[in-house]
Amino acid sequence: MVRLKIPATSANIGPGFDSIGLAVNLYNTVTMEEWDSCVIESLDGVAVPCDENNLIYSTARQLYQLCGVPFRGLKIGQVNHIPFARGLGSSSACVIGGLKGANTLMGKPVSDNELINLAASVEGHPDNSTPALLGGLVTAVLDQNKVYYVKQEIKNDLHFVAIIPDFELKTSQARAVLPDSVPRQVGVFNLSRAALMSVSLYSGNYQNLRIAADDQLHQPYRLKLIPNGQWVMENCYNLGAYAAFISGAGSTLMAIVDAKRIDFGDCILRRLHEQGLNGWQVRTLSIDNTGTQIEEEQA
Ligand code: HSE
């Protein structure tokens, strides 16, 4: 039996569409053992698919098949603290849980680098799946099924305040509204800011983050799918955030704030309530520089 803890992730960080992401200290846990059939248990009562379509199960089975190892079935237990379809990497956590769990049960025939490539090919983009496995801040390129990446640990002097709406936004829907091509100046706008974002976070030049978090590639289109999203971002800046952006494909908005600003989460929650947004949640999170952890492993 293997027990895993997989972090939530925040992809894009504004301009780094499909290429930059980081892991935060909000976790799903997965227990997995070989079994004679498919058994899926939701250990916290969150509704999950309990058949072979379960993403953890199907990804694990795929790895057994790729490795040529006979597959009977699996018993999986899930605890889902990462909310579904909110831009916090819940699907990636399932994919990484499935791959890392299966690989561990098989005696680790596959390297982490190969798991990263497989996860990106299942997920389609590496900016959630790679930090979910490795933790930290990851800058990644997916080229012909291979992920080229750098993981950087970042200092623990920031908070990542997740402002989570009471509605889901499917990644497919949030990608469908994006234009197929953009003018060259949009390319330059984004690539310069994505580079600045990655290096400013790593080096601690947080005064750059506001300009670095700006984006013309996806946020202007996606904000139309997130009622009050623009208002939330403006309020984050009014309250002194270094940066505010759509987390992944949304619907969550993420603020980066100085960790000394311990009142930030309460302040933004109060404003949400004043605005009548009573179903929204605020989670004050920190960087996870460790990534997926195997908490327990038994033969
Ligand atoms: N980079 C992806 C997107 C993240 O923004 O669509 C979602 O997994």
Sign of the four-CA dihedral 120, 155, 244, 271:
positive
CB-ligand 1 contact for 31 (6 Å cutoff)? no
Indicate if ligand 1 lies below 6 Å from the C-beta of 75. no
pLDDT averaged over the chain?
Answer: 96
- The response to whether residue 127 sits with its C-beta less than 6 Å from ligand 1 reads yes
Q: Is the pLDDT of residue 181 over 80?
A: yes
**Helix (H) / strand (E) containing 23:** strand 20-34
- Under a CB-based contact definition with an 8 Å cutoff, are residues 243 and 20 in contact? no
Q: Quote the pLDDT of residue 217.
A: 97
How far away, in angstroms, is 18 Cα from ligand 1 center? 6
User: 278 CA to middle of ligand 1, Å?
Assistant: 27
Q: Is the pTM value of this prediction over 0.85?
A: yes
CA separation for the pair 121, 115 (Å, rounded): 10
Per the CB < 8 A criterion, the answer to whether 284 and 159 are in contact is yes
192-235 pLDDT per residue, tens: 999 999 999 999 999 999 999 999 999 999 999 999 999 999 99
- What φ, ψ does residue 27 adopt, rounded to 5°? -130, 145
Q: Is the CB of 171 within 6 Å of ligand 1?
A: yes
Ligand 1 contact, 288 CB (< 6 A): no
Q: List pLDDT tens digits, range 8-39.
A: 999 999 999 999 999 999 999 999 999 999 99
State the pLDDT at residue 297: 73
Pocket test for ligand 1, best of 10, 18, 55, 218 (most atoms within 8 A of CB): 18
pLDDT for 298: 72
pLDDT per residue as tens digits for the range 75-85: 999 999 999 99
User: Is any ligand 1 atom within 6 A of the Cβ of residue 248?
Assistant: yes
pLDDT value for 69: 97
**Cβ–ligand 1 contact at 142 (below 6 Å):** no
Indicate if ligand 1 lies below 6 Å from the C-beta of 249. yes
The CA distance from 128 to 133, in Å, is 9
